[in-house]
Each structure stands twice: as C-alpha cells, then as structure tokens.
Amino acid sequence: MKILFVVAPYGEFPKDGEKVKQKKGFLPPVGQALLGTILENDGHDVRILDMQIDLLTEKELIVYVRGFAPSLVCISMLDATVPIVNHIISLIKQNFPETIAICGGIHPSMYPQETLDGNKDIDYLVYGEAEISILELARAVDKKEDISKILGIYCRDSQGRIFFTGYRPIVKDLDKFPIPSRKFFDLKRYVPVPNQYKRLPVTNMISGRGCTYSLCTFCFESTPYVREKGYRRISVQQAIDEIKYLQKEFGIREISFWDDEFLMGGDWVEDFCDAIIKEKIDIVWSCYGKVNYVRPDRMKKMAQAGCWNIFFGLESGNQELLNFMKKGQTLDMMKNAVKWAHDAGIEVRGSFILGLPGETPEMGQKTIDFALSLDLDYGQFNFATPFKGTEMYDVCRNGDYGTYFAEGDFAKHTIAGLVFLPKGYDTPEQLLRLRRNGYKKFYLRPKYIWLKLRSINSYDDILRYWRGIIFLAEVRLLSKSGGY
C-alpha cells in the first residue's frame, strides 16, 4: 500500500508564480522518518513530503499527490500548524476523496475531540506515540479489517459519533524500533542556521523522549499528556550504530541532537562519550541541556567526545520569575553552567523569554543585562507564548497578569510573535522595542564582535560566520515586525 507523510509548513501556501527562497534552519523530521521506516519494513511503499523544504503551491501539491496516488496520507499537527494542516487535509480530500487522511502529533493528542470536530475530513486520529498504532492501522486498512480493535485511535462510527479505541501502553524499550532511515530525504537541501553547525554535512538525531524534570509552566513536557509517559532513551550502542549509519550512507560529519533534554539519563552521557572516544569516531555534535545537570567533569568529557555547542534554556535574569515558572534553577547555577562549558571549550547558546507573566520593563531589561553578562556565544530572546494545555496558558488566560490577545489563533503561537502582554507594559510596541534593543546590544557590542573574531580557527569558521551575516540580513533579525 502507498503511504504519504506530509510535513506541514508554518504559515501559508506560496502563491502561484511567487518566488520563494529556500528556507533555512530546518533539519529532517526524524519522527516521520521512524514511522516511515517501520511501515516500509512492513512492506508498504512510503514517501515523506517535507513542505518546510519543498515549498509547493496548492496546485503543485495536488499534482504531487496525484502522481504518487497514496491510499493513506498522514500528517502531524502542532499548535502553530493547525490552520495549514486542516487546509492541506481538506485540499487532498476534496481532490482525492478516496484517500484516507490520518492526523497525529501533540496538538490532536491533547485535543482529539476538538481536532476531529474542527475538520470532518480527518478519517483517523492517532493518539500519542504512533509507532505501533499506525503500523496496525495501516495493516487493517490494507486488509479491510476492523479498526475498533486497534488501540490508540480516535475515529467516527457509522453515525458520525467520535469514539476512542483505548489507550495504548507506551514502549519502554526504544531499541525495539529501527534506526530511522534518512533515504526519504535529500539531506543536501536541509540548510541549517549558521550558528547551529560547525561542519557540513550535518543532520539530526533523537536519543530520548520526555523529561525527568517536567515542571516548567511554559513547556509541553509539564502537561500530564507528556509527563505521564516518563523519560526513556535508546541504548548507547543504538546511538553509536545510528551515527555510523549516517556517516557511512550520507557522509555526515556533525550531529545535532534534538532531544528536549540531552544531559539527563544518569551515566548515559558519560557512557556515550566513552564509546565515541574508544571507537575514535570522527564526529562533532551539539545538544540541548538543562543547567541543573552540568558539571565541570561532564563538560570536559563531552568536549573530548566532540561536543562543541550546548543550548541552555536560561529563560530569565530574574530569580522571582524563574521561581514563578518552576524552572528549578538559580542565577548562580546558570552562571556556573556557562562558565564550565566555556572552560571545557564548548560554545553556549542561551535562550531567554521576555514578556513573562509578572514581568515589568525593568525586569525585562534585567534579563537582557544578565544575558550580556554571561558572554554567551549566541543569545535568543523569545516572547512568552501560552501554549494550550500548559500551566502558563491557564495563568495568561485568566487575565490577572496581562492581556492574552491571540487565544484560538494557533498560527501565531510560534514564540517569535507577540501574543501576550504583561500588565507591567504599556503597549505591545514597548515590549517589541525592548527585544529589538536587546538583540542590538547583544550582537553589536564590541566585546562580542571581538570574541567571535578571536574564535575563528579555520576557513570553515569564516564561511560559517559569513553565512550567519547573510542569514541575519535575510530574516531581518532586528526588523520592526518583531520576527526573526
């Protein structure tokens, strides 16, 4: 059976005849690659259409689907892609009514009833982790068997009433799944953001699921839907095997680990680094981490094993706001984590949130000043975004802390655009201006420019920084629109 996975873009379809530049900053959707590998191993003909990279118009999408003629079209939905996903599904169903549309992802899993009520063209909704459910669903559709016996599926009965087939137990041993095949993608078309790679070609991996902390009020990991699944990770050997596969088949020289939190897992990180060092694997890599799990010896071991960059979610320079977010970290912990990483020779990207509930312009400025004091290699200032289902959503929605003026408009929930204004700010422009000035102070200060020039050690570094300058110009980092 032919099965098509569609990865929805953010925003809207390009218009016919519109010149669209190649988007940067995307890496292959590894989750869809895993599902595709599982289905292909079961004998199905699978394709993945990543519309973040393949910028198709509506007409081009119809032509593509007609050419492949899939029996199943599977598409994942995030909060920010709800409108475009619904549009894609309805467009396909209008032109190919016999095609079965399957929707999954965190948004429909958290709001299955709302998702199905919002789009009658969705035939099946896969709840939660989809690996086993979608495999059994594809088999049942192919053989025209009873769907109701497959766990983890929302669908409609003959009367149009929505019913749920029941919860599927999670798979605790992630090594039971195959290594996600990357043959579904043309890896050369994935152009990373310049400050997020050191060597090309680069691709991404995911070694674990979930978070052992799961308390931050702004994060999906804190929602019961995610938290109850617990934290699981592939074995070190499975991770090493995947790296070797990527090197052999695609010549990959760098890995970007996309785990929400890479530094967790007891001794896993040290064992992973030991394996890289012992087998003399020539790879560099980056990851996301929480400062609570940073130690000087761990940073040194990671650097020895090829880690060159860590992304820390630092969030705020105000301890009271960190406590309000239940972040579980202190300003001193953040200072130490950055210092210990730098001492080991690892670059640090730091992410901050402006416009948090309870924040004033003075507190926002304090966050920016704190970011400057850390001598981070790269800084990122996002806006507080109350994703539905999180504790922050409830806080912002009740009106006690400010104005939430984008409720229900999921397409605006991207952390780049302003959707919530704390009571401490007079106007949205005041907060937008604070962030623009923050970026200017961070990237245009003489000390930062000198540190970047001093860090150039190779021709690759020169090319990377030059691409970074071009990228910043293209996306208008400091534009008055508030986007970047």
SS3 21: coil
Spatial CA neighbour of 208 closest among 178, 240, 174: 174
pLDDT at 193: 80
Residue 77 and residue 104: Cα distance in Å, rounded? 6
User: What does the alpha-carbon distance between residue 337 and residue 319 come to, in Å, rounded to a whole number?
Assistant: 16
Regions of the chain short of the pLDDT cut 70 = 20-23, 222-228, 265, 459-461, 463-484
Amino acid at 100: I
| Diameter over CA atoms, the chain | 69
User: Which residues on adjacent β-strands are paired with residue 353?
Assistant: 382
CA gap 214, 227 in Å, rounded: 6
Length of the chain equals 484
Contact indicator for 431, 437 with CB cutoff of 8 Å: no
> For the stretch 346-371, what's the b/e string if a residue is b when 16 or more beta carbons lie within 10 angstroms of its beta carbon?
bbbbbbbbbbbbbbebebbbbbbebb
pLDDT of residue 251: 97
- DSSP tag of 245: H
Q: Are 192 and 256 in contact (CB under 8 A)?
A: yes
d(CA 341, CA 297): 10
Q: Exposed, middle or buried by CB within 10 Å (0-12, 13-18, 19+), for 224?
A: exposed
User: How many other CB atoms sit within 10 Å of the CB of residue 163?
Assistant: 11
Cis peptide before 192 (omega within 30 of 0): no
Please give the sequence-ordered ranges of beta strands (E in DSSP) within 51-157, or none if there are none.
Answer: 72-76, 100-104, 124-126, 153-156
Residue type, 180: P
Give residue 480's pLDDT. 41
Q: How far apart are CA 476 and CA 484, in angstroms?
A: 6
Q: What is the DSSP letter of 375?
A: T
Cβ neighbours around 133 below 10 Å, total: 22
Q: What is the full DSSP assignment across 247-306?
A: HHHH---EEEE--S-SS-STTHHHHHHHHHHHTT---EEEEEE-GGG--HHHHHHHHHTT
The encoded tokens of residue 62 equal: 């119809």
How far does Cα 129 stand from its chain's mean position?
16
| CA distance to 28, 206, 272, 353, per residue, from 34 (Å) | 11, 11, 22, 32
- Domains within the chain, CATH numbers bracketed: 2-164 (3.40.50.280), 192-475 (3.80.30.20)
Query: pTM for the full model?
Result: 0.91
Alpha-carbon Rg for the chain in angstroms: 23
Is residue 226 a contact partner of residue 214, using CB atoms and an 8 Å limit? yes
Residue 336 corresponds to which tokens in the numbers above? 């130490």
Question: In this structure, what token pair is assigned to residue 20?
Answer: 């669209």
Q: Is 235 exposed, middle or buried (0-12, 13-18, 19+ CB in 10 A)?
A: middle
Beta bridge partners of 349: 311, 378
Question: In sequence order, what are the beta bridge partners of 313?
Answer: 351
> CB-based burial of residue 458 (10 Å sphere; 0-12 exposed, 13-18 middle, 19+ buried)?
exposed
**Cα dihedral 418→420→424→427 (10° resolution):** 50
SS3 content of the chain, % helix, strand, coil (to 5): 45, 15, 40
> Can you give the pLDDT at residue 464?
65
C-alpha separations of 45 from 5, 41, 317, 339, 349 in Å: 11, 9, 51, 50, 40
CB 252 within 8 A of CB 236: no
Name the amino acid, one letter, at 177: F
Backbone phi, psi, residue 118, to 5°? -80, -15
Token duo for residue 420: 């919530």
Q: What is the pLDDT of residue 80?
A: 87
**E strand or H helix at 311, and its extent?**
strand 307-315
Contacts of 392 (CB under 8 A, 6+ apart): 217, 218, 325, 357, 384, 386
